[in-house]
Amino acid sequence: MAEIVIVGAGPAGISAAEILVANGLRPILIDEGARAGGQGYRRPADGLALDMNKLMGSEAGRYAALHARFAALRPQIDYRPQTLVWAIDGKRLHLLRDGRTETLDCDKLLIASGAMDRIAPLPGWTTPGVFTLGGAQVALKDQGCLIGSRVAFLGSSPLLALAAKQYRAMGAEIAVIADTTPFSAKLAAMPALLGAPRTLLRGLWYMATALRAGIPMLNGVTPVAVEGDGRVEALVLRDGSGRERRFACDAVALGYGLKPETQLADLAGAEFTYDPDFRLFLPKIDGFGRARPGLYLAGDGVRIGGADAAEASGALAAHAILSDLGRPQDIAAIRPLARRVARLRGFQRGLAQAFAWPKQQIAALPDSVTLCRCENVTIGEVRAAMAQSLGPVEVNRVKAMTRCGMGRCQGRVCGPALQEIVAAGTGQGGESAGRLRGQAPVKPIALAAAEEPA
């Protein structure tokens, strides 16, 4: 029997595993987290008395249903939590589990690795108390902790209003919700956003809730700086009229939407193409998630689409696996899944317009701003390297000369902003800057973990 491995126990991975189990297979489900559910449906730590119904709001029913489905599924799969896939070599996966490395060979590999925050730097963003938006949510959902008592939410993402609502529900004061995209861009994107009316209405309700609570909600802002001596003390912005405003706070949640976690797909042999709407290089797949023979990609790890799209794309990938194993599939049952994925991913293109990646603001950042915090590389150092005679004009060459993107995160945080700095330096589009190539280990592992036992 073919060995089928799924990486990622979020909505996409769980949905795929259900389809495979229903067809008599027992897949291996590997997940870096301690508990299944992914980021959006993250379960709190064991023993933590956290009211998830209050925290999840209108999504509480879907949250409970997903975890109930996984509880029923677990005895029928080989589930391996707290296991990191840190490298892929052909059909062989390199794992870190219980502090030791091991390998696992597979015939079919489905990667549902999810997404992470996309971050644009600003002066002071390395000050203690600045968190990514996703990190702020992890602290809340996983440990029941607030990142501060008075929190400012900055960036351009529909998740700003959601996270602010969750923080307010848990007792935090919200200093401001500041979006760098002008309100006019949101209105212009409305026709595309109508493709998912339920999601649109939920987002509008989050915003309306914040306004009713008297929370300042600004659009079209330009971040000036995070102020603080050893800790966050204030967020300084320039509003749409050009007026500078200072918001006292003790923490900042920073996020510009999500970007797929594609490092494993890269190591597994997927091809990439540049998407000008998202200004990202994304894996090439067919309509079912096939990236190459034996490799399948699903969920937000290949295209941002949200939990509903992730579940449907996970199911599509599972059907592709079954088809490639020679098992007949019911096309009539599969078509609605494909339509749902297409509709929801189209909605995300509308969101990319309504909550835009601030490429102009990044290109205008001063030289003194830290770009790569792992290696403490400033934007000025990148620009200086490019300005040399025969200086680098592609991100991997810039990385080699400056160490930007060479640290613990392997460019997962600084990579998108680096791409914009390089593109601005050459005067060309984002595609010309290239993409940082994935390298193993995709996340840090201890040298001792790879030692052979005595």
- Per-residue confidence at 454, pLDDT binned at 50, 70, 90? very low
Burial class (CB in 10 A: 0-12, 13-18, 19+), 229: exposed
Among residues 328, 351, 374, the one where a domain terminates is: 351
Regarding whether 427 and 346 lie in a shared domain, the answer is no
Residue 412 lies in a domain: yes
Regarding whether 252 and 133 lie in a shared domain, the answer is yes
Regarding whether 306 and 417 lie in a shared domain, the answer is no
Look at residue 416 in the predicted model and tell me its pLDDT.
Answer: 96
C-alpha triplet 144, 444, 115: angle, nearest 5°:
55
pTM here is: 0.92
Q: Which whole-number Å values give the CA distances from 243 to 220, 224, 236, in the listed order?
A: 12, 11, 10
Residue 444 lies in a domain: no
Burial class (CB in 10 A: 0-12, 13-18, 19+), 272: middle
Question: Total domain count for the chain?
Answer: 3
8 Å CB contact between 112 and 7: yes
Regarding whether 324 and 308 lie in a shared domain, the answer is yes
Q: How far apart are CA 442 and CA 408, in angstroms?
A: 9
Dihedral sign, Cα of residue 245, residue 247, residue 252, residue 256: negative
Q: How far apart are CA 261 and CA 301, in angstroms?
A: 5
CATH number at residue 225: 3.50.50.60
Regarding whether 330 and 293 lie in a shared domain, the answer is yes
Of 355, 356, 117, the residue nearest 258 (C-alpha)? 117
Regarding whether 246 and 170 lie in a shared domain, the answer is yes
Regarding whether 374 and 333 lie in a shared domain, the answer is no
Does position 199 have pLDDT exceeding 60, yes or no? Answer: yes
Among residues 228, 256, 284, the one where a domain terminates is: 256
Regarding whether 290 and 344 lie in a shared domain, the answer is yes
Among residues 318, 351, 384, the one where a domain terminates is: 351
Q: How far apart are CA 236 and CA 223, in angstroms?
A: 7
Residue 453 lies in a domain: no
Residue 442 lies in a domain: no
Of 222, 153, 154, 254, the residue nearest 366 (C-alpha)? 222
Regarding whether 39 and 90 lie in a shared domain, the answer is yes
CATH number at residue 418: 1.10.10
Regarding whether 216 and 129 lie in a shared domain, the answer is yes
Look at residue 329 in the predicted model and tell me its pLDDT.
Answer: 85
Does position 50 have pLDDT exceeding 70, yes or no? Answer: no
Residue 449 lies in a domain: no
Residue 102 lies in a domain: yes
Range of the domain at 208: 119-256
8 Å CB contact between 28 and 4: yes
- Per-residue confidence at 247, pLDDT binned at 50, 70, 90? very high
Q: How far apart are CA 258 and CA 268, in angstroms?
A: 22
Regarding whether 197 and 93 lie in a shared domain, the answer is no
pLDDT per residue as tens digits for the range 61-97: 787 888 899 999 999 999 999 999 999 999 999 999 9
Regarding whether 212 and 135 lie in a shared domain, the answer is yes
- Per-residue confidence at 449, pLDDT binned at 50, 70, 90? confident
Phi-psi map region of 219: left, alpha, beta (phi>0 left; psi -120 to 50 alpha): beta
